[in-house]
Amino acid sequence: MKVGFIGLGHMGGPMCRNIIKGGHEVVVHDLSEAAVQACVEIGGVAGGSVANTAAGADVVMTSLPMPKDVEAVALGPDGIIANAKAGTIYIDLSTNSPSMMKKIAGEMAAKDITTLDGPVSGGVVGAEKATIAIMVGGDKSAFDSCMPIFESFGKTIVHTGELGSGCVAKLVNNMIAFVNMTAAAEGLMLGVAAGMDPVVLNEIVRNASGNSMGYRGVAKSALERDFAPAFTVDLAYKDMRLALELADELDMPLFLGPQVHSVMRMARSKDQGGENVTAVLKVYEAAMGQQVGPAGKNS
């Protein structure tokens, strides 16, 4: 199957390169020429535009930052809907809103294009190693027919149910992870403010019941003073907003989610939106006028 891949960033770049390495014919597009070149060097073909990338493809994939970016690329006048042939399968790999995916799928269906939502989890390292999880909602036979492509860039590939359910699974996962990370930031700051050596504190927590993947991420950033973006505060903030919107649609009370969303909002107000999501720690450090992490290392 011929693949069109749009959005070659932190996640899309390595995912797309793994599809190319898997032997598939792939046309690629991104606003960044360097990102396109990295795929062309290993056998991808530059599409030059969304229109050219979608035209002629059997499967079109997007990995884009915000729901509005996906909407514009999918449904815009020069977008996928206007250029993909009937029978195309469109898969959005971004973390998107379930209701947005249903809207896109409805319009695509009128052009005989089948839509799947297939958000991914496992971070940039997982994307590079092709070990990410892919959670796919929508038509099962379309899912089955794309399995060889999914297997080229992911490891745990799950059909989650109806369209939008992949996004639901992803938003739930991320909300749990970000609540964990914020709890880690709060706890580490409390311990250090109380005079604990952060290295000793970390040795305790990572081997005790406070441990989690989220905890380890925050502790690593704190101790190494490394907040270089792999998954930005801005994207995490977007994911939390989408989870809150989902709860709104369901009239479900959320207690922790809105608090974590506000911590992220504070980080963004301090120009930390482009830093790694673990920079939520800096909100606590600013409040205490004190840094978690070895003295002398500043960032």
Q: Which residues bind ligand NAD (CB under 6 A)?
A: 6-12, 29-32, 35, 63-65, 69, 73, 94-95, 120-121, 123-124, 230-231, 235, 239
Exposure letters 169-202 (e unless 16+ CB within 10 A, then b):
bbbebbbebbbbbbbbbbbbbebbeeeeebeebb
Question: How many Å from the N-terminal Cα to the C-terminal Cα in the chain?
Answer: 46
User: 237 and 65 in contact (C-beta within 8 Å)?
Assistant: no
- The token duo for 97 is 């809103």
CB of 288 to ligand NAD, least distance (A): 28
Distance CA 231, CA 235 (A): 7
Residue 94 or 114 having the CB closest to ligand NAD: 94
- CA 129 to chain centroid: 16
| Minimum separation from the CB atom of position 203 to ligand NAD (A) | 27
Amino acid letter, 105: A
Tell me whether residue 234 or residue 285 sits nearer to ligand NAD (CB atom): 234
Closer Cβ to ligand NAD, 7 or 137, answer by number: 7
Residue showing tokens 């070895």: 294
Q: Which is nearer to ligand NAD, 230 or 256 (CB)?
A: 230
Angle separating helix axes 165-193 and 256-269, nearest 10 degrees: 70
Residues designated as active site: 170
Q: Phi, psi at residue 254, to the nearest 5°? A: -120, 135
CB of 51 to ligand NAD, least distance (A): 11
